[in-house]
Structure 1
Amino acid sequence: MPFLGLLAFVVVVPTVLAGTYRQDIGIAHLDRFLQERAYNATKFAVEAYNRNPESAILKFNEQIQESLEATNNSTRRKLNGGERCMATNPIDRCWRCKSGWAKNRQALGECARGFGEGTTGGMGGCMYVVTDASDDDMLNPKKGTLRHAVIQDKPLWIIFKRSMIITLKQELIMNHDKTIDGRGVQVHIAYGAGITIQFVHNIIIHGIRIHHIVPKSGGMIRDSLGHYGFRTVSDGDGISIFGASRVWVDHVSLDHCSDGLIDAIMASSALTISNCKFNHHNDVMLLGANDNHRGDVIMQVTVAFNRFGKGLVQRMPTCRWGFFHVVNNDYNKWEKYAIGGSRNPIIISQGNRFRAPDNVHAKEVTHRDHYPRHVWKRWKWRSVNDLFLNGAFFVASGDHSEIDQNLKKYMVQAKDGSAVGQLTRYAGMLRCTHARPC
């Protein structure tokens, strides 16, 4: 068993639970229900932890290679009497160009890749149609609202009857085994609170836009049919992933949130963030709670096929403790840095395209927080086949000699950053219609 795998199983359960009780987690206190939910969430996260993370990278590389080869051989498939569809990465090829996607929405539940592979969301459950954009009752949500849907105790595939803007009065706290699927309409979560995925597992967020999220005062909020509790002030995150596992965020557009666009903390693991579009924000993505929360050693995240676009400053992502595969993303003119971290995370940056800003003092892709060079030089950060434009450069560190030579050889052969434009072409919320390929 690799060292990280052994370490996680030995220390993670007690450390993450102790850390959970010590941290400010937005709950006035952990009652018996939440203590049990937190403990079970930790068990699910440990079970989802991949003790050989390099194998996940190899598999993902193979899927990307197969996708690009298939795209080059038959890029544009004619569907529905001449309609053309292009799906350029392995996640999109799983579902987008199938003519019956709208009749078989739950097939999306087979399409997660990377560390989040196996996330099925509400697959196998009933379809729940959101018909009401209001959010007026935190304790007894009205049937037909998004809040009523996400607190149910059974798997649900949540879709929307029409385009709508949902302004959340307080954070939307999700229950297990849910998919929020905005395909076919335009769904905005905006001008209110964001989405909280806390102490749960198996969640898919797909095909929506989240923007202008602000802190909310808190209060009594229901998180399942049988439980509610007092929440403190929310941070203003677009999506907050807290002590959760098997979470996949795909084709979501995010911008203008008061805190992070996506934060994943407190021993969350088995996460994939893919095909998203990020714009106009300072602290974009935080992966890891803080330098003292050792439970984050089990955090494993794939960040793939995303576009980091206009008006972004830093944290794309910033990482602590865990293992992070940042692959085939498009970075365009950050203000401070692109990828950062602290507390000895393993970061593999592979096949990304980094276009540096014109500022001569902000050309470096990487940034280490709080630690001198003699400490961070041992952290395992490496760049493989990245494309650097406008003076961008990546400062690698650490000894990678223990990496399997066959995997290392394959990584050298993987597609480089020149393929990023093709792989990320359709990032963000898609404008799908039910009668056509998406």
Structure 2
Amino acid sequence: MTEEVRVRFAPSPTGNLHIGGAHTALFNWLWARHKGGKFVLRIEDSDRERSTKEYEENIYSGLEWLGLHWDEGPQVGGPYGPYRQSERLDIYHSYADKLLNEGLAYREGEAVIFRVMPGEVISFDDIVYGHIEVKSETLKDIVLIKSDGTPTYNYAVVIDDFTMAITHVIRGEDHIANTPKQILLYKALGIKLPEFAHLPMILGKDKKKLSKRHGATSVLEYKEMGFLPEALFNFLALLGWSPGDNREIFSVEEAIKWFDVKDVNKRASVFDMDKLRHINQEHIKRMDPERRLEAVKPFWEALGLPLEKHSPEYLAKVLEIMDGRGQTLKELAEYTDYFLTFEPVKERVDLEYTENVREVLRPFCNDMIKLSQWDTKTLEEFAREWSANRKVPLKKIAMPLRILLTGTKVSPGIFEVIELLGREETQKRLAHWGMLD
């Protein structure tokens, strides 16, 4: 019978869930889902001074927003969990006593220290980095229990992974240096080693270690910036892994189907915000109209726009007409403000500009507003005919119209905009600028 795959994500609640942590969690979650195994969440809160409930809640919220729901751990229950190191001190002390009784560890004051014997070659086969060997004489004795009674990271992680039956330890490559120490403890305790897979570093575009200036902020800040969880998921999955065939846009379900930890490469990945924005834009395009509308609404509300004055059908059409413009939900809200109210248009248009275009635009607007039909095709045909008859380039009509109705130089086709705004609203706006008799 095949052993059930069990992986874990073990953050410390001493900071928010950031990109690096989310990346590690995602690869663990993908491997568990691909293999039909379990994804365990363990809170490593042994640092009592720096651990806070707020950071812990941020970690939960960030994982849940990304869709990385855990099978065991805080708020799940079951035969395992919740897992919080601060509640497991008796377990760490019992295994430390075992090593003391067997003469493999010694006390130094209140601390318990594991004795590293020289002359041993510690080796392991990392799924990503291959065969790694370290001589034991390069290592110092390993503190297991500190003088304040709390376990050290290298000791607690071994006990936790063993007692939680973790089969695969998937974590950042900065932990490669810790692995030989942990292997010594596994062997001393006579317990089976898990498989190790260390993930490549994530660098900024300048090839330096990822920091806040590159985008290493809290995962939930990406939500506030207007990114979709499935887009950030997609982007993070591509940092160190690829589904092949130069495929860059995929769903969570597709990632689960294709992912294999053996395909993770060891080259450092680059956090490219432009690429994330592109991926987000593609996922926005894939959304069904109803979900896209619900996703954009909070950003319209944040801009103080009057949603209540418009029907859901109209608002959905507003987003549909944008046809992929806007790389984030926030941008999409900002780019469509003129559909919801005339107020921002008034703020953006220079009154002097209206004087400069009035001579050509006023006669056109007076004729256009009298059209018996009000649809894109009719409006566009009328404009072409009108400009040809009067030998006025169409752009000298279309661009001023766009600016006076939207307050921007870039929008969907202006006659599509005019159709959606409707005759009454268009008339009101043109009259405001003095373009109608």
Superposition TM-score tier, normalisation by shorter sequence? under 0.3
TM-score if structure 2 supplies the norm length? Answer: 0.21
Question: Which structure has the highest helix share of the two?
Answer: 2
More strand as a share of residues: 1
Higher Rg: 2
